[in-house]
Amino acid sequence: MSEAAALEPIAPPPGDIGADAEIINLGALSLASVGDRGVIARVAAFEGALPAAELERRLLELGFVEGATIEVLQEGLFGRDPIAVKLDDMRVAIRRREAAAIQIRFDPKADA
């Protein structure tokens, strides 16, 4: 996983500490690099070119729902925009501006 993608390490909730407890890496899909993979943790749109509710609706209709597996396949040549992602069993191209609304729980095993 890229250094930028491992943006927000979060410790497990209290009482959940045990032998299998580990740090969870959350970050925006817009910061991911080719090869990064994980699971969508949440879709939280923001005001921009589109109203937040409209952007969130469009992302959900495309299949960007909580729990869906995702992997970054390719990046655009100029400015690394847009990005092509594998979303469950389909491939979708999305602008990084819209990808910023998608929070990913990155898979630490993808580093190996």
pLDDT of residue 23: 58
Contact 63, 88 (CB under 8 A): yes
Q: Is residue 55 part of a domain?
A: yes
Q: Residue 94: which domain range?
A: 8-111
Contact 107, 38 (CB under 8 A): yes
Domain count for the chain: 1
b/e 65-80 (16+ beta carbons within 10 angstroms → b) = eeeeebbbeebeeeee
pLDDT of residue 18: 44
Contact 103, 40 (CB under 8 A): yes
pLDDT of residue 107: 87
Q: Is residue 2 part of a domain?
A: no
pLDDT in tens, 79-89: 888 999 999 99
Q: Is residue 88 part of a domain?
A: yes
Token pair listed for 9: 């390490």
pLDDT of residue 67: 95
- pTM of the predicted model, to two decimals? 0.74
Q: Is residue 1 part of a domain?
A: no
pLDDT of residue 3: 45
CATH number at residue 19: 2.30.30.90
pLDDT of residue 47: 80
pLDDT of residue 59: 93
pLDDT higher than 80, residue 12 = no
Q: Is residue 105 part of a domain?
A: yes
Q: Is residue 3 part of a domain?
A: no
pLDDT in tens, 32-80: 999 999 999 999 888 877 888 999 999 999 999 999 999 999 999 888 8
pLDDT of residue 32: 92
